[in-house]
């Protein structure tokens, strides 16, 4: 019932705006996001950074295993001392894991913000240049005709702008 009231209220406010709008379009933002070369380039960078972090992590894990193997060969009193070294390495590994996830997550979040800003800027310029009154995100539409989809144009313009600024 609440959803129906939302759409009824939305219709009340949007209908007058649509009645006066001459040119309307929508953009499949997910399609544009995935097709944007900057998204692909940054995903590749993050993947490379992730692999480097994984290599460092693997070295720490190997060190912990080596210490445990050494510990197994020691006498009881020496084992306790070795356990302290193992505990230090395990904490180091845990801290590394936490920092790596945080760093990669922050990089991804910053990149996603930049990409959505790029998309928004291009949609704004495109809409102004082409004389659109309204351009919707396709996720808020219950029905849409493909003839109003400008996603391909937006993606092409976005990639052209990215290549131009990349040089």
Q: What are the DSSP calls for 76-110, one per residue?
A: HHHHHHHHHHHHHHHHHHHHHHHHHHHHHHHHHHH
pLDDT in tens, 96-151: 999 999 999 999 999 999 999 999 999 999 999 999 999 999 988 888 899 999 99
**Ramachandran class of 131: left when φ > 0, alpha when ψ lies in -120 to 50, beta otherwise:** left
Domains of the chain: 21-166 (3.30.910.20)
Tokens 């009154």 appear where?
133
The predicted pLDDT at position 53 comes to: 94
Bigger pLDDT: 4 or 113?
Answer: 113
Phi, psi for residue 21 in degrees, rounded to 5: -80, 130
Does pLDDT of 10 surpass 60?
no
Section 67-77 average pLDDT: 86
The predicted pLDDT at position 81 comes to: 87
User: Could you tell me the pTM of the whole model?
Assistant: 0.75
The predicted pLDDT at position 147 comes to: 93
């Amino acid at each position: 019932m609440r959803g129906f009231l939302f759409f009824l209220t939305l219709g009340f406010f949007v209908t007058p705006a649509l009645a006066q709008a001459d040119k309307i379009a929508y953009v499949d933002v997910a399609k544009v996001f995935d097709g944007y070369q900057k998204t692909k380039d940054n995903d590749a960078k993050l993947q490379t950074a992730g692999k480097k972090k994984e290599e460092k992590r693997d070295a720490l894990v190997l060190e912990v295993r080596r210490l445990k193997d050494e510990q197994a060969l020691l006498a009881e009193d020496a084992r306790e001392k070795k356990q302290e070294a193992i505990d230090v390495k395990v904490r180091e590994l845990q801290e590394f894991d936490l920092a790596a996830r945080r760093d990669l997550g922050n990089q991804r979040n910053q990149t996603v913000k930049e990409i959505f800003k790029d998309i928004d800027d291009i949609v704004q310029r495109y809409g102004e240049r082409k004389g659109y009154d309204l351009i919707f995100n396709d996720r808020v539409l219950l029905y849409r005709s493909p003839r109003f989809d400008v996603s391909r144009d937006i993606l092409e313009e976005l990639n052209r702008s990215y290549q131009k600024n990349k040089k």
